[in-house]
Amino acid sequence: MKKLLLVCTATLFLTACADKENYESAVLLEMQAEKDLKDYNLDPQEMTDCVVEMSSKGMPGAFPFDPDRLASYQKYTKMLSMRTIEDKQKMLEELRTLFGSPKELADAHSNYTISVMDCLAAIIKKSEPEIEEKEEKED
């Protein structure tokens, strides 16, 4: 019985890690294409870490390995794939069904967008002293 419990727990943990890693990869792809990051010369990986952490807090589920949170990672990953899909209307309908309703899809998109904006502001603010030092050296 203990072995079965251990196997089930290990399987859940590996699946959870894979779901979160897939979401992180999708966010990283978005951040690498983000014009603002290029303009401000910000690190896409730092931005990805921030966005994943912040958006995860707005996802359903009480803790990181909650089944609802794991399902959200999968849904958000699919939502972020919208840029690469040719038939956007079909994908939009699929996402609405996947999230349960157009409102839940809009809420998820809003959570992601707010996370991106908040992280961008925080990282830019954190890098301001470096920008000021660089400008002073150039003068």
The answer to whether residue 45 is domain-embedded is: yes
Tell me if 42 is assigned to some domain. yes
In-domain check, residue 86: yes
- Residue 128's pLDDT band, with cuts at 50, 70 and 90, is confident
pLDDT at 14: 42
pLDDT reported for residue 8: 43
Q: Is the pTM of this model over 0.95?
A: no
pLDDT(132) > 60: no
78 close to 92: Cβ distance less than 8 angstroms: no
Dmax of the chain from CA atoms? 71
| CB neighbourhood size of 38 (10 A) | 11
Question: How many independent structural domains does the chain possess?
Answer: 1
Asked whether residue 138 is domain-assigned, the answer is no
